[in-house]
Amino acid sequence: MNKADLIVRLSEDAGISKVQANAALDSFIEAVTRTLKADGKVKLVGFGTFDTYKRKARVGRNPGNGDVIKIKARRVARFKAGKELSDKL
């Protein structure tokens, strides 16, 4: 499912227009992004938690030629599914 498919599903399930569903989805994505940038967490009980963590610097290999490269430390986003979501899968 891509964003367009999700917008169609949201509009049908909520009984709203696609424009309104797109605005709601964009607002949700922006809110989660701003919270994660501020080093916060977004917890949706039963669904899951969005948060960030620091990935340490490490050594990797260039798959094209096998050369050793240094990969810088960075902050990455992650999602952990909640119990209800996990049980449904």
Residues 5 and 20 in one domain: yes
Residues 28 and 47 in one domain: no
pLDDT, residue 82, reads: 93
Residues 79 and 59 in one domain: yes
Return the CATH number at 88.
4.10.520.10
Residues 4 and 18 in one domain: yes
Q: For the chain, how many structural domains are there in total?
A: 2
% residues pLDDT > 70 (the chain): 100
Of 44, 34, 50, the closest CA to residue 83 belongs to: 44
Residues 28 and 57 in one domain: no
pLDDT, residue 4, reads: 95
pLDDT, residue 22, reads: 96
Q: Which residue segment(s) compose the domain that 10 sits in? A: 1-38
The answer to whether 36 and 51 have CB atoms below 8 angstroms apart is: yes
pLDDT band at 80 (very low <50, low <70, confident <90, very high): very high
pLDDT, residue 84, reads: 93
| pLDDT tens readout for residues 20-59 | 999 999 999 999 999 999 999 999 999 999 999 999 999 9
pTM: 0.78
Sort 2 into a burial class: Cβ within 10 Å, 0-12 / 13-18 / 19+. exposed
